[in-house]
Amino acid sequence: MPVIVVANPKGGVGKSTLSTNIAGYFASQGHAVMLGDADVQQSSMLWLNLRPAAAKAIASWEFGFEQIAKPPKGTTHVVIDTPAGLHGKRLKEILKLADKVIVPLQPSVFDIFATRAFLDELAQNRHAMKTEIGVVGMRVDERTIAADKLREFVATLDLPVLGFLRDTQNYIHLAAGGLTLFDVAPSRVERDLEQWQPICEWLEA
């Protein structure tokens, strides 16, 4: 059962957007998906409560803040949304569950600086954790200098950049209805699905 953890100790980088869309992707493939939310703000759980009954099912994993329980039997895929400021013992407990960690990162010097120590820690411990780690550029045009700078930074850590997701209202409008890119007609979000293709391939590898 693959467990995907979406993590970055900096707030406002798009963790919930990434988490909900990963869960939506797995659900669209017919998997029995659970979405856990380790953030006290419970953004992903709020989104899940907005999800229409007609959409592909995504179960809620009651993710305790004091103790982490295993997901129930029958679950085939798990996605965990994590809070800002995640570090120390709590971080290690969550990472122990992870098969893959995705780090959403915006290509500004401030975001990169704030995330540097976290990425260093992940890179240093990934072999011991036996966990695959990838970075996704959020709200960025991959043709820009900012995207090049992000690639250069991540290359110093020997971590892959899985893709770049543009700044678009599609995510905001869909989230307001408890939906993802994978719940609507592909023609409506064609450009965004193209950007997700390499991310989905990495998730399935």
Each domain of the chain, given as residue ranges in start order, spans 3-204
Closest to 143 measured CA to CA, from 161, 159, 166: 166
pTM for the model = 0.91
Mean pLDDT across the chain: 87
Find all residues with CB under 8 Å of 141, minimum gap 6, and list them: 147, 164, 166, 167
pLDDT digits (tens, 9 = 90+) for 7-65: 998 888 999 999 999 999 999 999 999 998 877 677 888 899 999 999 999 998 766 55
Report the alpha-carbon angle 115-104-156, nearest 5. Answer: 55
Class of domain 3-204: alpha beta
Taking residues 184-194, what's their average pLDDT?
97
In whole angstroms, what is the distance from residue 2 CA to residue 106 CA? 26
